[in-house]
Structure 1
């Protein structure tokens, strides 16, 4: 072999050997600014607010220190992680505060990543895990659909006492939750306002608490279609909800079923009543519509409270629809929890109220925006029984037993 080629071969062999011996570049587990989370992260500010500015704490997380600690005690066993030899786990307190901040503001995962000094992908995992945990620990006590006659009667009593509408088991409505369009979804989530959304259909009691929710239907669905395909309608048709049996209206012998109240988009049924169509109304029909509107306003206000206290619902949520469903269910359960535990969550001026003459004063939530209603697609083919029932209620609201002093001034 030519000595020149031999020398060249040896040189190449040496170079290859040296290359293999080079150590791989050491991979950093965390970036430097993330590593300083314990010194400068948002958890430091949260502790400072807790100790020196409790009003600021409430504005930061939309709840008091006491409510936060109570909630942390409930959810910590489900979200607490174990330290490893390589790194310390992110605490349950940080995980909960991060998730509550996301719900309260709707800030992007990237923005929260810098605020909390946590990697962006980890922020996403924390939010989803914590939302699922929140729903799991709160749903039984704070977001359970009634299943007994006594539970339904308690709700009906609330509507009769507060809104003067007897035999009402809840107000029902549907709202859009805006999302980024999923890949390859076409027009499935495209709604009548030219945006992409999933739909939340809910039933609310007299105190603005959610007692039923169905989330995740594609945004192109109308209220009537949404109800028609829901498990709520199926349960009502099969009498699985155990509504109280029909009983006389207060101070009369008129037998009346118990029912939900809804707007024009819903079907008229014996267990779901809606207003008379808004054209050529006679005096009694205007009275009926006013009385029904007072009861139905509870669901409108509940959606308004939800969207303005947990402002993630005033944004385009940039994650997959199934994850938005998880976030929404957690938020509804959290809303009910705070509605029960905290007076500060819904100040008196925040919701619609009536003055001494029963004229409506708009709640301050209306200035901040609301979830958009689902498109109307008026349901037809109401049964004769349901129409007769509505007429009986119309007559009752004009009688001495069922009228209220101020209703003539409202129409």
Structure 2
């Protein structure tokens, strides 16, 4: 509301005051004695000035009082109008709140009525279906044994999709070579996996739909891991819904982790460890080597929570593109079969910290690894059980020869991870799996890798992938004085026993 100030009185409005005072002065001058006027001219002039000054002061006071009264009147009027507007606004606000509350209440009642109606309809449909089934059973019983059986057609709550691609690959006459190229394993290995998982993966048929067969369930998961195709393409190949394919992948991966991982990924016993040590010694000449260790990174979509922990700085700087990943640490035997895996630590964590937080390190602290070396690269620290190459400059002949032998052992683990990512292409790019479900999928890939390696499944030569992980020297690379002496002794023995041959490229 705009407020205007009271205007001052103009000179024209006050002119009648001046004329009145002038007439009073003239009458006073006419009635005065001329002689006294002549004798007292000076006194009269002074009195006239005083009188005029007093009259001006009186006039100014009157004007100011009038102005103040007008301002107070305007302020009272503004306050009254403001209070009226406020009252009107509050009344309108209360009406709107009441109307909104009534509308919301009516909407809730409407939804409740709709839910009740749907419940009634569902119950009626179930009753009619049960009645139809019972009537069909009675009719079939009354027809007698000579009459042909009547088939009951179910109403399936599924969309009719084409399954020609899967039916073709699942046919017994389908060539084994093409099946291996598609699923990264032979038909015999695939059937073995299905038999192992059948008790866990099998679902029962219902009145309204038939359960998906075990072979198709396992095939959806294996195909998804092998090709890394989007779920919409997997859905078209197998004639299933997108959400159904996603659910099948997680269910089968969970079954592989719970059923097959304890059987196919396990730390060697004493007899098996003795064989592994002999095989590694024949390759490198280093005694008591029980495994080759390597850590790789699997790319992921930037998570919404704790994103900085998964930021891979080294990959980002190398590729000039923001990279987020999780780590997979594995120990393999001379054939490239995983004997221990540690999955799921953030990509910003260096290799030595991943090792410290792994179950393998806890197994060592419990005293379960005695007289066993696990060979790793310079990203790991030198400890009483981890053997790494020399990382300083100006190596001696003996130290250089030792590094060459450790590289031969390290190559076993690196080649195993390369085959892992070549065989299961889902590990080469960011997947649609959630971060909390990704370790389960990666664990399933490691288990399937071991099964294929144990059964000598060959990889298609057309599948090519170059494994590259940024190697960083551990900040505290020397953790034990006794391990330093042990490494020096091994290097000395290799050189003086004629087993430290070197190569130049």
Same structural fold, with TM-score higher than 0.5 when normalized by the shorter chain: yes
Shift, 1:43, TM fit: 2.0
Structure 2 residue aligned with 1:169: 290
- Distance in 2 (alpha carbons) for counterparts of 1:59 and 1:117: 21
- Distance in 1 (alpha carbons) for counterparts of 2:351 and 2:195: 38
Structure 1 residue aligned with 2:421: 307
- Distance in 1 (alpha carbons) for counterparts of 2:342 and 2:281: 26
- Mark the structure with the bigger radius of gyration: 2
Shift, 1:190, TM fit: 1.0
More helix by share: 2
Gaps of 5+ in 2: 1-109, 126-154, 317-322
Structure 1 residue aligned with 2:488: 391
**1:242-292 Cα distance to aligned partner (Å, 9 max, x none):** 43xxxxxxxxxxxxx431101111110121110001521111111000011
Gaps of 5+ in 1: 1-15, 244-256, 351-363
The root-mean-square deviation of aligned C-alpha atoms, in Å, is 2.7
Q: How many residues align?
A: 352
Say if 2:165 and 2:237, in contact at 8 Å, map to a contact too.
yes
Shift, 1:296, TM fit: 1.1
Tell me: CA distance 1:230–1:374, structure 2 relative to 1, closer, same or farther (3 Å). farther
Q: Does 1:344 align with 2:344?
A: no
- Distance in 2 (alpha carbons) for counterparts of 1:57 and 1:384: 54
Shift, 1:29, TM fit: 6.8
Tell me: CA distance 1:134–1:392, structure 2 relative to 1, closer, same or farther (3 Å). same
Structure 2 residue aligned with 1:155: 276
Match of 2:190 among 68, 73, 78: 68
Say if 1:175 and 1:199, in contact at 8 Å, map to a contact too.
yes
Shift, 1:369, TM fit: 2.6
Say if 1:176 and 1:374, in contact at 8 Å, map to a contact too.
no
- Distance in 2 (alpha carbons) for counterparts of 1:379 and 1:370: 26
Tell me: CA distance 1:29–1:156, structure 2 relative to 1, closer, same or farther (3 Å). same
Match of 2:431 among 306, 310, 317: 317
- Distance in 2 (alpha carbons) for counterparts of 1:129 and 1:375: 37
Query: After the TM superposition, which residues 134-149 of structure 1 pair with which residues of structure 2 at under 5 Å, given as runs?
Result: 134-146=256-268, 148-149=269-270
Shift, 1:151, TM fit: 3.0
Say if 1:149 and 1:242, in contact at 8 Å, map to a contact too.
no
- Distance in 2 (alpha carbons) for counterparts of 1:242 and 1:224: 18
Shift, 1:141, TM fit: 2.7
Match of 1:370 among 449, 454, 467: 467
Shift, 1:371, TM fit: 6.0
- Distance in 1 (alpha carbons) for counterparts of 2:173 and 2:351: 47
Q: Does 1:36 align with 2:133?
A: no
- Distance in 2 (alpha carbons) for counterparts of 1:201 and 1:311: 18
SS at match of 1:391: helix
TM-score (norm 1): 0.79
TM-score (norm 2): 0.65
- Distance in 1 (alpha carbons) for counterparts of 2:205 and 2:384: 58
| Deviation >6 Å, runs of 4+ | 23-29
Match of 1:182 among 303, 309, 315: 303
Between the two structures, name the one with larger relative contact order (CA 8 Å, sep ≥ 6).
1
Say if 2:336 and 2:413, in contact at 8 Å, map to a contact too.
yes
SS at match of 2:310: coil
- Distance in 1 (alpha carbons) for counterparts of 2:401 and 2:471: 26
Shift, 1:226, TM fit: 0.9
